[in-house]
Amino acid sequence: MQLLVNIDHVATLRNARGEGYPDPVEAAEICENAGAAGVVFHLRGDRRHIRDDDVYRLKKSVQGILDFEMAATDEMITICREIEPELCTLVPEGREELTTEGGLNMKTVFEDYKNRVFPAFKDTDIKLSLFLDPNPTDIELAHELGTHAIELHTGTFANAPDEESRQKELDRLKKGAELIHDAGMIVNAGHGLNLDNLPILIREVPHLHDISIGHALISKALYLGLEKTVKEYIRIMNA
């Protein structure tokens, strides 16, 4: 199991003042030096946080895993092919959303992914990961497409209003992880994870590989510092 830090919020803070700092590339370096296996960035169509220039600089500076999170538009596919990250996580993207609001609906995107998206990556070494809710049907369709990994959406678990619904979602995540693993795919997870709910997820859900964390980690770093915060997350993951 390894930590990938989502650095989008560093760019959000930078953009709030139109200054050159804080720099997401510098933040990525601190995260890696503190032991993170790599970083995630989401280049959105509206460029609200990470910008094209950040992506090219990250490509040059990140030593570990670079996970390019994006919507599967032709524009993003072209940039991603040029950057050649180790991993590309495909997500749904809505203009009005504050953050990614759920996994891909595989029934809706299947034909497009089969005919346009997956073929566009065929001649590259980029590994594809699909961001999905833990629905068996979505997972089976993703497998049919030949995806390398599935990132399980943990937001419903993280934001569960009570213990019963949290346990129900944990059971779904557990079954989903088993299904993904048994089908020979890599199990990643992310969304809404923090120092309190991460130990519960890790205890209950098997086969976890990359854990992608942004908002809570960057927020905590305001008080604790980025290096210490990354180390604290890694300590929990190794405990």
Render 135-185 in DSSP notation, one character per residue. Answer: -HHHHHHHHHHT-SEEEEE-HHHHT-SSHHHHHHHHHHHHHHHHHHHHTT-
Max Cα separation, the chain?
A: 48
- Measured from the CB atom, the residue of 52 and 115 that comes closer to ligand PXP is 52
Shortest distance, CB of residue 4 to ligand PXP, whole angstroms? 9
Active-site hit among 32, 49, 69, 169:
69
Q: Which residues lie below 8 Å from residue 76, measured CB to CB, with a gap of 6+? A: 43, 45, 70
Query: Is 148 noted as a catalytic residue in this protein?
Result: no
User: Do residues 214 and 226 make contact, with C-beta atoms less than 8 angstroms apart?
Assistant: no
| Selected catalytic residue, list 9, 49, 143, 191 | 191
Sorted by sequence, the CB contacts under 8 Å of residue 137 that are 6+ apart come out as 106, 107
- Shortest approach of ligand PXP to residue 84 CB, angstroms? 20
Annotated catalytic residue 232 = no
Task: Compute the least distance from the CB of residue 233 to ligand PXP, in Å.
Answer: 11
Give the residue with the Cβ less far from ligand PXP, 8 or 133.
Answer: 8
Cis peptide before 199 (omega within 30 of 0): no
Tell me if residue 69 is catalytic. Answer: yes
Burial (Cβ within 10 Å: 0-12, 13-18, ≥19) of residue 148: middle
Closer of 115 and 199 to ligand PXP (Cβ): 199
> At closest approach, how far in Å is the CB of 123 from ligand PXP?
25
The vertex-104 CA angle with 63 and 121, nearest 5°, equals 50
From 9, 42, 143, 153, active-site residue: 42
Tokens of 110: 């299947």
Q: State how far the Cα of 41 lies from the Cα of 9, in Å rounded to an integer.
A: 9
Nearer to ligand PXP, 115 or 219 (CB): 219
Cβ proximity to ligand PXP: between 12 and 61 the closer is 12
Residues lying near ligand PXP in the complex (CB under 6 A) are found at 6, 8, 42, 69, 89, 91, 99-100, 131, 151, 190-193, 212-216
Least separation in angstroms between residue 153's CB and ligand PXP is 7
- Catalytic residue annotation: 42, 69, 191
